[in-house]
A and B are shown apart, each in its own frame.
Chain A
């Protein structure tokens, strides 16, 4: 095969067509193949229609049959051999025959009708009775069909209501889930078994309070579907621990008298009506519970410190109240935890007469703030150790060894002021401030001349606030500005800064401040005379803030000033003491004195320029609304007219 030449093989389709004729030149003419219809006709030709039509031997069919017979003469002989029933086209033939018959009849009828010669078609009048079904039957059938329709409608309605209920159930479920999602975004939740527990505590914020503070999330979906859903319905409910229910607050107050031990005990101070708890949404409940927890933590911390801290007068912790002494006086600070569970009505508290509010809201707020600061400090003091193998703890303590800190340095880190100490200090300050204000106010209202003005600063530190005290005389504010005091009120003492920079420390005693202010006021009058003299053109002869002569004052010292008139004829001498009041003397020129004591020494006329004796002015009888005004009048009277 590989080596030999290729053999040519011609392939030709075998001729299956019949050869019609062979021409002289040898070309063969084929019979063209039969088309489909020709084939059918050819097959149909073989059907013997006359066979089996023995039932109908009509006259009309006769000539046709004859023709068929003639045409299929040669085939008849072939088909006769078959059994007629077994012949496959028998049924077709029968049907065709009957169809032909029908058609012929129809044709005849139509042609007869068309001629209208023999027949006419009239509409047949229908018998009404015959078509009418009996009424009972009609009724029954109608009833039946109505019932069927009703059933279908009912089924549809049922389906609809079911789907609506399902929808609602789904929505509630979805609402629960969305509520849970909202809860999850604000509170710490975890799943324990088939329960969802949440965390109320401030532990993640740095609290060390051992209360577990867990609440449980409850699905509240099984409500009665028939009843109307209340407006504030929430599919999610929370179950808070029983000891955190209700509301609580810390009450801080300052009590003036020493508390009687017998009176101590439960302080129930809930005056405001408890709100209906049932309708509270979960976030309100949780916030209230968390507030209760924080109050409890604050109180626990304060109680612990109250027991631990050594103070001169020990702090007393009784039930829900801590009493500690603020000053050496009989003033005590009372801190109490007020917690109402809301279940029992406040029967005991209600008959009590509503006392004036003695809350120190600022301190209550500060307690909360300090607790949070404490938390933050706890949180920020915990740092990850580096290197990682080192134990947890304060970074500074780890540095203490390598950096060789001494004991004093280390102990300085460790002493921290407790919550109670801080709050006592704040209370002391608040008390001192209020007492200072009261002292100043009472002095201002009691003494009209000179006037006291106090300007309190709005922004204060928790341990320090300041007030500016001005002592002026009415109408002469511009002239007499000598006394301006700045009072810095601290925790235990008041620091007074004069305008000229002198500093005086006053203790917390009320009397001390009062005495100081009184002495300042008396000095002010003398200063005012001095200032006035300058304005009026008088000369200051002498001035002394602290006079060493005369009666001894119980408070401070008397001060004195002597001024001389412009021409030098008159002199006014003023002595003003905080206790003894003012004494004004006028010195007249010698010439004006009528009954001069006879003296041999000063007979000469030149001695008439000597100063004469002093005469006291009846100051209370002077006209004028205040001291400086009187003084101005006096000076004006003594100044000779030009």
Chain B
């Protein structure tokens, strides 16, 4: 089947022109408890929540250039919650004055028939994984401490295997483009988490092998 031509241009304009500011790091399993303890102290006074999510990454190969990537995520712990479809743009790492990685981001809540819909559109699933861990909030900042697991049998989220002996720590903020004060707040928050975890801006393009 011929793939339909797709523009790879990021979606701009309107209220959906949001940027995600991101800092990443990781901790070993042994250090998890102390990190959680610290986060509980630093973050907003909310009940600490755990989550288990299943993420599917879909690719649409156009005629030219890079494939178009969409991420579909659903909550395994809250099966009735809507699916979450996410487009992440090319990350801008170059600016030294900015303390966080910035990328274009489009978030859409979707119904449960999302995978079929994407398949019909011509998207193909590239890979899937299960992520479980803890989620914290401080103001607009979201802190996700998660463990990634590989799915051994495609589609079976029960049968998984941990990818590593460490937890991924992500600090992210969604903000309209051009709000660089956000990254300042993120940096000061990341400072407070040192030396438990060092949150840095990690360029995903340089990590590809």
Contacts and interface: CB of A to CB of B under 8 A. Distances in A.
Interface of A: 204, 382, 384-392, 398-403
Nearest to B113: A402
A289 B128 CA distance: 54
B166 interface: no
B81 interface: yes
A390 B111 contact: no
Nearest 10 CB-CB pairings of A with B: A402-B111, A386-B75, A386-B78, A387-B53, A387-B73, A402-B82, A387-B75, A398-B109, A384-B49, A390-B84
A357 B84 CA distance: 58
Interface stretch (B59-67, B136-144, B198-206): B136-144
29 contacts: A204-B44, A384-B46, A384-B49, A384-B135, A386-B51, A386-B75, A386-B81, A387-B53, A387-B54, A388-B51, A388-B53, A388-B133, A388-B146, A389-B71, A389-B73, A389-B86, A389-B107, A390-B73, A390-B84, A390-B109, A391-B107, A392-B140, A398-B81, A398-B82, A398-B109, A401-B82, A401-B108, A402-B82, A402-B112
A390 B133 CA distance: 15
A204 B73 contact: no
Interface residues of B, number: 34
B46 A382 contact: yes
Contacts of A390: 73, 84, 107, 109
Contacts of A401: 82, 108-110
Contacts of A204: 44-45
Contacts of B135: 384-385, 388
B101 interface: no
B45 A399 contact: no
B103 interface: no
B109 A399 contact: yes
Contacts of A391: 107, 174
A579 to B, nearest CB: 66
Interface in B98-151: 107-112, 131, 133, 135, 137, 140, 142, 144, 146
A396 to B, nearest CB: 11
Contacts of A402: 82-83, 109-112
B77 A386 contact: yes
Contacts of B78: 386
A388 B75 CA distance: 8
B82 A399 contact: yes
A387 B81 contact: yes
Nearest to A397: B109
A338 B142 CA distance: 40
Contacts, number: 72
Contacts of B74: 387
Given A386-B51, A387-B74, A387-B75, A392 B81 contact: no
Nearest to B71: A389
B140 A387 contact: no
Contacts of A385: 84, 135
A399 B111 CA distance: 9
Contacts of A400: 109
Nearest to A404: B111
Given A392-B142, A398-B82, A401-B82, A387 B110 contact: no
A398 B53 CA distance: 17
Contact of A388 (B44, B107, B144, B174): B144
Nearest to A384: B49
Contacts of A403: 82, 111
Contact of B131 (A386, A388, A392, A398): A388
Pick from B73, B84, B133 the residue with the most CB of A within 10 Å: B84
A46 B55 CA distance: 113
A571 to B, nearest CB: 79
A390 B140 CA distance: 13
Contacts of B83: 387, 402
B16 to A, nearest CB: 11
A572 to B, nearest CB: 77
Nearest to B53: A387
A95 B4 CA distance: 131
Contacts of B86: 389
A197 to B, nearest CB: 15
Contacts of B81: 386-387, 398
A453 B26 CA distance: 77
A387 B109 contact: no
Interface in B80-102: 81-84, 86
A390 B105 CA distance: 11
Contacts of B46: 382, 384
A402 B137 CA distance: 25
Contacts of A398: 81-82, 109
A400 B108 CA distance: 11
Given A386-B53, A386-B75, A398-B109, 6 more contacts: A384-B51, A384-B137, A388-B135, A388-B144, A392-B174, A402-B112
A398 B83 CA distance: 10
A401 B106 CA distance: 15
A61 B130 CA distance: 120
A402 B107 CA distance: 13
A403 B80 CA distance: 11
Nearest to A205: B45
A401 B74 CA distance: 15
Nearest to B108: A401
Contacts of B140: 392
Contact of B84 (A384, A389, A392, A399): A389
A601 B78 CA distance: 100
Contacts of B49: 384
A389 B146 CA distance: 11
A403 B109 CA distance: 10
A382 B112 CA distance: 23
A398 B85 CA distance: 12
A389 B53 contact: yes
A387 B133 CA distance: 11
Contacts of A387: 51, 53-55, 73-75, 81, 83-84
A57 B46 CA distance: 115
A216 B77 CA distance: 43
Contacts of B71: 389
A82 to B, nearest CB: 87
Contacts of B53: 386-389
Nearest to A401: B109
Contacts of A382: 46, 137
A385 B49 CA distance: 10
Nearest to B132: A388
A384 B77 CA distance: 12
B192 to A, nearest CB: 11
A204 B46 CA distance: 9
Nearest to B146: A388
Contacts of A399: 82, 109
B113 to A, nearest CB: 9
Contacts of B110: 401-402
Nearest to B140: A392
Pick from B55, B78, B81 the residue with the most CB of A within 10 Å: B81
Interface in B145-171: 146
Nearest to B48: A384
